[in-house]
Structure 1
């Protein structure tokens, strides 16, 4: 039945009692456990289509606190059983929860402030690098070395490229190097210069 309902794209659902109950609750701005359970049940059995997307988003927002229990218990299977609509709309609902849980700050504005502090505090390091961004990254890398006895350190390449193992520069006309086991960002352009 669920398969046929998804194929139909439209479905007539007569849930006037649940709908009116939910609207009354939001008008009074009082959410009780019974009403949240009714919203979760509606969310559990609603068919995700374009026509029901706005209703699903409304219910998803209203039941945000209920999903925190599953997140704290790290019970992903039960989470998907209770909220199967989570995988609909290419993960937009999961993205909504993530944005609501973690208020994202403007990284670039914060980075510019951190970069100024780093360059001021360690003004004697990597003076040969003219690009402030690359210089700040190199200082951060130098002050936070990789730990572990199994990692081999290539001193020669590290002297030529302080971001060795993280960023590799290759010439614009040169072919890309063969990928190795360690993920590395390959930049085509002038060595130790940001490309914009």
Structure 2
């Protein structure tokens, strides 16, 4: 298992265990927060991941093949991704408070040594009676659709004071 695969699987399992819930609402801000198609895809991806039970097929369909956990073994096939995530998400706690998710701050993000140039967004989520959490996502267009190429948790200690940490978080991850 490659280091990237281990990191993605660990992040998915930890986030699912810590953040998943059985119902959700999604708010995509527009106008002054500049969220379009990339933001809508980011919201759909996060709900597929964090709602319970996780919708692993939708998660996989919204990821680039390179982001899928099976990339190193079969090139990121949809079937391999679904099988990997299905095994990872078995036994999820489905009794979590509802998830409120807001996607904002859509912006161009430059390529890094390991990730392509794309569009970054900031997703802020919170469950009833729990602390809010934030993720930065990198999305790219492929075949006329937006796909998630990178997801990075926004460290509240390091970026808590920053209203728009998208580019910095995606570059550092």
Query: TM-score w.r.t. structure 2 length?
Result: 0.17
More helix by share: 1
Q: Higher relative contact order by CA 8 Å / sep ≥ 6: 1 or 2?
A: 2
Bigger CA radius of gyration: 1
More strand by share: 2
